[in-house]
């Protein structure tokens, strides 16, 4: 091709430039009275929800990071509700299918921290003061996920007094069985020696380690061929908790990387407060039993 002739046209000179894909005849182009991709996803609403309060370039990253996390948390809650119902209905296979999906959601949430970690301390300092008292600690969806996994804490409801719908949603979940409560009840229905106090306990409080329950779970682990679906379910739940702890750890490290040991915008001690969450366990018997296997 010479400089004078310009780009070679594809299709024998039909007006479509080289290296350009032509539209096929059947592709829709008129959406004046049809639902489009953008209208189905409400993209005008979604993409207008990023409203920086400072003029700093990096605030957009900060907002999108947290908004996308909230979308993933919404989906996780959707799946956890289904898992809880499936366990209550003795449909263990369907419940574990839901757990498998949740694990992939957790992976996406954890990987997102690497994007936020590109925010340097000096960049964040340019707009951190504009956030006021806003903090991820106030994420009611995150708190709902913790409640559904079993980390119940009624004191957290006070944080949401200014948001009655969120507080009501959390109060409802607080009063319901967690997915671990439902798994324990399923074990009892299968004939395992689950102590009565666990089946009748106050489910608004966090589950704590029970030695008798661990012994029941030990039976599953020592005879996996006899209880394969339960054995597999135990390991899926361990994956779920491991993933959650990994998310917590990445959170701590990212916060430490960006603000060091400063106090959180929501009034917490910051990194120290987040680190203490790593000591909280959802399914303690599933970890404790590992010490007993083979003894």
Binding region: 62-66, 124, 128, 251, 265
Contacts (Cβ under 8 Å, ≥6 apart) of 121: 258, 259, 260
Integer-rounded Cα Rg, in Å, for the chain is 25
**Nearest CA to 81 among 167, 150, 148, 157?**
148
* HSE-up (13 A, CA, CB side) for residue 213: 24
CA dist., res. 75 & res. 5, Å (int): 55
Binding-site positions for substrate: 62-66, 124, 128, 265
Binding-site positions for heme: 251
Contacts (Cβ under 8 Å, ≥6 apart) of 47: none
Query: φ, ψ for residue 15 (rounded to 5)?
Result: 95, -5
**Nearest CA to 161 among 170, 153, 152?**
170
């Amino acid at each position: 091709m010479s400089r004078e002739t310009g780009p070679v046209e594809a299709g024998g000179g039909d007006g479509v430039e080289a290296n350009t894909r032509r539209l096929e005849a059947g592709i829709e182009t008129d959406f004046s009275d049809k639902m489009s991709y953008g209208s189905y996803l409400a993209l005008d609403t979604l993409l207008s929800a990023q409203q920086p309060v400072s003029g700093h370039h990096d605030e957009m990253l900060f907002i999108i990071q947290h908004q996308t996390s909230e979308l993933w948390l919404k989906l996780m809650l959707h799946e956890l509700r289904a898992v809880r119902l499936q366990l209550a209905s003795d449909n263990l296979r369907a419940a574990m299918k839901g757990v498998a999906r949740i694990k992939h959601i957790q992976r996406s949430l954890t990987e997102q921290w690497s994007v936020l970690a590109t925010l340097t301390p000096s960049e964040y300092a340019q707009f951190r003061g504009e956030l006021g008292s806003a903090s991820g600690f106030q994420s009611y969806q995150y708190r709902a996920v913790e409640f559904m996994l079993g980390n119940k804490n009624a004191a957290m409801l006070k944080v949401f007094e200014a948001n009655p719908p969120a507080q009501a949603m959390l109060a409802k979940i607080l009063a319901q069985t967690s997915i671990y409560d439902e798994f324990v009840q399923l074990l009892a229905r299968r004939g395992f020696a689950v102590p009565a106090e666990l089946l009748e306990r106050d489910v608004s409080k966090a589950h704590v380690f029970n030695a008798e329950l661990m012994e029941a779970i030990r039976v599953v682990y020592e005879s996996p061929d006899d209880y394969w679906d339960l054995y597999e379910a135990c390991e899926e739940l361990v994956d779920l908790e491991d993933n959650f702890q990994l998310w917590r750890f990445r959170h701590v490290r990212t916060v430490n990387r960006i603000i060091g040991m400063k106090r959180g915008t929501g009034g917490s001690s910051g990194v120290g407060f987040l680190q203490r969450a790593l000591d909280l366990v959802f399914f303690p018997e599933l970890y404790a039993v590992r010490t007993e296997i083979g003894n």
